[in-house]
Structure 1
Amino acid sequence: MIDYTSPIQTTFELQRRSLEQSQQALEQSVDIGQQISESLLAGLDSQEQFQRRLVELNRDTVASALDAIESLPGADVAVDDLRENIDDGYERLLDGHEEAFDNISAELEDGTDSYDDLTAELLETVEEQLDLLVEAHEELEAQSVEAVDELAGQVEELQDQAEDVQAQIEQVSEDAARAVEA
């Protein structure tokens, strides 16, 4: 008997593997999105630290210049007021800088958390749907294999019946040939 079910089962198995690979690709793309968000947050922290160092370096350079000017005779009174104003300006700048980056970081973290929550829900839903699909797919495979087995059995029966009919025809032909000879 010819096994017709093997190619059918192979086809169904290939389809299931394709579904599983599609799910894995989706999970990997979500992971990449999360990694990008994490990298963006890490980059933001680095950017904040770098800019803060630049502002502090600039403040120190201005302070050094004021120190040099202050060493000149009679410049110390005017420099004190100027230094106070400049120091206040740098403090406001650094405070504003910190607040701005804190706000940006908080917004980005909130967005990342929301993205993580949504993608987790998406992956859970996709996994549930894939499980249902694979279950239905396996049921369809079982029904298909059963139908092919039944059809193969019926074809064998028809072949056996055809062989029996052929044998009967040959027997009748032989009997008729002997009757004619007799």
Structure 2
Amino acid sequence: MSTQQNPIGTMFELQRSAIENSQRLVHQSLDAQTRGAELAVETIERSDTVREQGEDVTKAAVNAYFDALATAVPGDAEGVEGLRETVLEQFDVVGEVNEDAWEAGKEFAQRNAEAVEEFSEEYASMVDDAFDAFLQTHEQAESSTRQAADVVQQGTRTATEIAVESAEQAADAVEESAE
């Protein structure tokens, strides 16, 4: 087999490089999908923290309102306190419903992220196997093509040598007959 670089070798090297780049792009795409699912979980967790802080600020504002109301209406402190308790109980109920909804959302996002990661790992493994098999076949095709090119090149050399030898013999024969 010829060891010098030739157009056939260059062609196969370019193909191999393109195939390997495609494999890297598939992995990068899978990594991006996995990271996207992880970011969704992180975003939900951060949003839940903001929601909890918002509830705390709102409760504090409601308590401040009822404190101001109790000061403004000193004779009806019992009514104001009853109203405060009712409103705060409603906040607690809404808070529990919100907490359950956010927890369900976080659990769903986490399961989704885990499923995406598992799928990506399995798919990446299948892609790697397919690319490896393709590259192995590609190498075999390159080897066969190089061998065929070497045979053709050797055949061309042999045919050229025969043609030169025949031409020399013909020239010698013409020269001899001319004498």
State TM-score, norm by structure 2: 0.93
The separation in 2 between residues aligned to 1:48 and 1:166, in whole angstroms, is: 92
The separation in 2 between residues aligned to 1:18 and 1:140, in whole angstroms, is: 16
The separation in 2 between residues aligned to 1:97 and 1:9, in whole angstroms, is: 65
Partner of 1:55: 55
The separation in 1 between residues aligned to 2:74 and 2:171, in whole angstroms, is: 137
Q: Could you say what secondary structure the match of 2:84 adopts?
A: helix
Is 2:23–2:128's contact at 8 Å kept on the other side of the alignment? yes
The separation in 2 between residues aligned to 1:48 and 1:93, in whole angstroms, is: 14
The separation in 1 between residues aligned to 2:77 and 2:149, in whole angstroms, is: 103
Partner of 1:13: 13
Partner of 2:41: 41
Q: Could you say what secondary structure the match of 1:152 adopts?
A: helix
**Structure 2 counterparts to residues 92-131 of structure 1, below 5 A:** 92-131=93-132
Is 1:27–1:123's contact at 8 Å kept on the other side of the alignment? yes
Partner of 2:24: 24
Q: Could you say what secondary structure the match of 1:107 adopts?
A: helix
Q: CA deviation at 1:148?
A: 0.6
The separation in 1 between residues aligned to 2:14 and 2:105, in whole angstroms, is: 47
User: Among the aligned pairs, what percent are the same residue?
Assistant: 21
Count of residue pairs brought into register by the alignment: 177
Is 1:5–1:149's contact at 8 Å kept on the other side of the alignment? no
The separation in 2 between residues aligned to 1:170 and 1:4, in whole angstroms, is: 36
Partner of 1:82: 83
The separation in 1 between residues aligned to 2:112 and 2:161, in whole angstroms, is: 71
State TM-score, norm by structure 1: 0.92
Partner of 2:175: 174
Structure 2 alignment gaps of length 5 or more: none
Could you report, residue by residue, the CA deviation over 1:53-100 in whole angstroms, capped at 9, with x for unpaired residues?
A: 112211111111111222332211112211211121111111111111
Which stretch of structure 1 is more off in the superposition, 87-96 or 13-22?
Answer: 87-96
Q: CA deviation at 1:19?
A: 0.4
The reply on whether 1:150 has 2:162 as its aligned counterpart is no
The separation in 1 between residues aligned to 2:26 and 2:166, in whole angstroms, is: 59
Please tell me the residue identity of whatever aligns with 1:148.
A
The separation in 2 between residues aligned to 1:176 and 1:140, in whole angstroms, is: 53
Q: CA deviation at 1:34?
A: 1.7
